[in-house]
Amino acid sequence: MSRVGIRRAYEAPGARDGKRILIDRVWPRGVKREDLALHAWTQDLAPSTELRKWFGHAPQRWEEFRERYHAELEQEPAASALAELRALVKRGRVTLVYGAKEERFNNAVALRELLEAS
Protein backbone atom coordinates (compact mmCIF):
# COMPACT_ATOMS: atom_id res chain seq x y z
CA MET A 1 0.00 0.00 0.00
CA SER A 2 1.27 3.41 -0.94
CA ARG A 3 2.06 5.87 1.82
CA VAL A 4 0.64 8.69 -0.32
CA GLY A 5 -3.06 8.87 -1.08
CA ILE A 6 -5.12 11.46 -2.88
CA ARG A 7 -8.67 12.61 -2.19
CA ARG A 8 -10.90 15.37 -3.51
CA ALA A 9 -11.75 18.06 -1.00
CA TYR A 10 -15.42 17.34 -1.66
CA GLU A 11 -15.12 13.74 -0.44
CA ALA A 12 -15.42 12.92 3.25
CA PRO A 13 -12.14 12.21 5.05
CA GLY A 14 -11.29 8.52 5.25
CA ALA A 15 -10.25 6.58 8.32
CA ARG A 16 -6.98 5.60 6.61
CA ASP A 17 -6.06 9.05 5.27
CA GLY A 18 -3.35 9.75 7.83
CA LYS A 19 -2.12 13.34 7.66
CA ARG A 20 -4.29 15.29 5.22
CA ILE A 21 -2.53 18.08 3.31
CA LEU A 22 -4.43 20.52 1.08
CA ILE A 23 -2.12 21.26 -1.86
CA ASP A 24 -4.13 23.86 -3.78
CA ARG A 25 -3.35 27.56 -3.95
CA VAL A 26 -7.00 28.52 -3.40
CA TRP A 27 -9.47 27.16 -0.86
CA PRO A 28 -12.01 24.72 -2.35
CA ARG A 29 -15.26 26.56 -2.98
CA GLY A 30 -18.09 25.77 -0.57
CA VAL A 31 -16.06 23.61 1.82
CA LYS A 32 -15.79 24.41 5.53
CA ARG A 33 -12.35 24.14 7.13
CA GLU A 34 -13.54 21.73 9.80
CA ASP A 35 -15.00 19.40 7.14
CA LEU A 36 -11.58 18.85 5.56
CA ALA A 37 -9.89 17.61 8.77
CA LEU A 38 -6.54 18.93 7.54
CA HIS A 39 -3.13 18.57 9.08
CA ALA A 40 -1.94 21.49 6.93
CA TRP A 41 -2.72 23.67 3.93
CA THR A 42 0.52 23.99 1.98
CA GLN A 43 -0.05 26.48 -0.82
CA ASP A 44 3.65 26.38 -1.75
CA LEU A 45 3.10 22.86 -3.13
CA ALA A 46 0.47 24.09 -5.59
CA PRO A 47 1.34 24.82 -9.21
CA SER A 48 1.78 28.49 -10.03
CA THR A 49 -1.34 30.35 -11.09
CA GLU A 50 0.11 30.73 -14.58
CA LEU A 51 0.79 27.00 -14.93
CA ARG A 52 -2.59 26.05 -13.51
CA LYS A 53 -4.42 28.35 -15.94
CA TRP A 54 -2.34 27.17 -18.91
CA PHE A 55 -3.03 23.51 -18.09
CA GLY A 56 -6.76 23.81 -17.48
CA HIS A 57 -6.86 20.04 -16.80
CA ALA A 58 -6.58 19.38 -20.54
CA PRO A 59 -5.46 15.75 -21.02
CA GLN A 60 -3.39 16.68 -24.09
CA ARG A 61 -1.28 19.01 -21.90
CA TRP A 62 -0.80 16.49 -19.07
CA GLU A 63 2.76 15.38 -19.87
CA GLU A 64 4.03 18.93 -20.26
CA PHE A 65 2.12 20.05 -17.17
CA ARG A 66 3.81 17.31 -15.10
CA GLU A 67 7.24 18.33 -16.34
CA ARG A 68 6.65 22.04 -15.66
CA TYR A 69 5.07 21.35 -12.27
CA HIS A 70 7.91 19.09 -11.17
CA ALA A 71 10.35 21.81 -12.25
CA GLU A 72 8.44 24.37 -10.16
CA LEU A 73 8.70 22.06 -7.16
CA GLU A 74 12.51 22.26 -7.41
CA GLN A 75 12.42 26.05 -6.83
CA GLU A 76 11.89 27.84 -3.51
CA PRO A 77 9.63 28.06 -1.62
CA ALA A 78 8.17 24.86 -3.12
CA ALA A 79 11.42 22.91 -2.65
CA SER A 80 11.35 23.45 1.13
CA ALA A 81 7.67 22.53 1.33
CA LEU A 82 8.37 19.39 -0.70
CA ALA A 83 11.21 18.40 1.63
CA GLU A 84 8.86 18.77 4.61
CA LEU A 85 6.22 16.69 2.84
CA ARG A 86 8.75 13.96 2.06
CA ALA A 87 9.74 13.85 5.73
CA LEU A 88 6.08 13.56 6.72
CA VAL A 89 5.58 10.69 4.27
CA LYS A 90 8.53 8.83 5.81
CA ARG A 91 6.76 8.96 9.18
CA GLY A 92 3.40 7.64 7.98
CA ARG A 93 0.45 7.82 5.64
CA VAL A 94 -0.27 11.18 3.96
CA THR A 95 -3.27 12.10 1.81
CA LEU A 96 -2.95 14.92 -0.69
CA VAL A 97 -6.23 16.84 -0.80
CA TYR A 98 -7.19 18.74 -3.95
CA GLY A 99 -10.24 20.57 -5.24
CA ALA A 100 -10.21 19.92 -9.00
CA LYS A 101 -13.12 18.09 -10.64
CA GLU A 102 -10.72 16.17 -12.87
CA GLU A 103 -9.55 13.07 -11.00
CA ARG A 104 -6.89 11.73 -13.40
CA PHE A 105 -5.12 14.89 -14.51
CA ASN A 106 -4.43 17.17 -11.53
CA ASN A 107 -1.60 18.38 -9.34
CA ALA A 108 -2.25 15.77 -6.62
CA VAL A 109 -1.69 12.95 -9.10
CA ALA A 110 1.51 14.58 -10.37
CA LEU A 111 2.79 15.25 -6.85
CA ARG A 112 2.07 11.72 -5.66
CA GLU A 113 3.94 10.40 -8.69
CA LEU A 114 6.94 12.54 -7.77
CA LEU A 115 6.85 11.44 -4.13
CA GLU A 116 6.59 7.77 -5.00
CA ALA A 117 9.50 8.02 -7.44
CA SER A 118 11.87 9.33 -4.76
- Give the structural domain span for 69: 4-117
C-alpha dihedral, 44 to 4 to 27 to 67, nearest 10°: 50
4-38 pLDDT per residue, tens: 999 999 999 999 999 999 999 999 999 999 999 99
Q: Under a CB-based contact definition with an 8 Å cutoff, are residues 103 and 8 in contact?
A: yes
Please state the domain count of the chain: 1
pTM of the model: 0.95
Give the separation between CA 16 and CA 76, rounded to whole angstroms.
31
Reported as a single tens digit per residue, the pLDDT across 70-116 is: 999 999 999 999 999 999 999 999 999 999 999 999 999 999 999 99
